[in-house]
Amino acid sequence: MARGMTKSQVADHLSEKVGITKKVAAQFLEELASLAYKQAKNVFTLPGIGKLKLAHRKARMGRNPQTGAPIQIKAKTVVKFRVAKAAKDAILGKR
């Protein structure tokens, strides 16, 4: 199974394609991630890739898989990422 690209590999690729230094490309990735973290509560969109947003899950009944006993799962806030249609089509191909 192939491994994903590391941060330095992504920065290297961007620096070659855009014609900037590796340091600037790495700084850009850091700032993009920082902005995404801050704006996730308002929905952060990367055009052509997807949306990062917060979602609230209600309290619900669950089950302990080991004993089968019912348990109460508390309400919580989670981070969700929704992949854009353009990204799905580019990766999976048109259906």
pLDDT digits (tens, 9 = 90+) for 38-92: 998 889 999 999 999 999 999 999 999 999 999 999 999 999 999 999 999 999 9
Asked whether residue 2 carries a pLDDT value surpassing 80, the answer given is no
Mean per-residue pLDDT for 6-23?
A: 93
pTM: 0.75
Question: Has residue 21 got a pLDDT over 60?
Answer: yes
Report the pLDDT value the prediction gives residue 93, as an integer from 0 to 100.
87
DSSP assignment of 8-64: HHHHHHHHHHHT--HHHHHHHHHHHHHHHHHHGGG-EEETTTEEEEEEEEPPEEEE-
Q: Tell me what pLDDT residue 41 has.
A: 87
Confidence of residue 20 (pLDDT cuts 50, 70, 90): very high
Domains of the chain, CATH where assigned:
1-39 (no CATH), 43-95 (4.10.520.10)
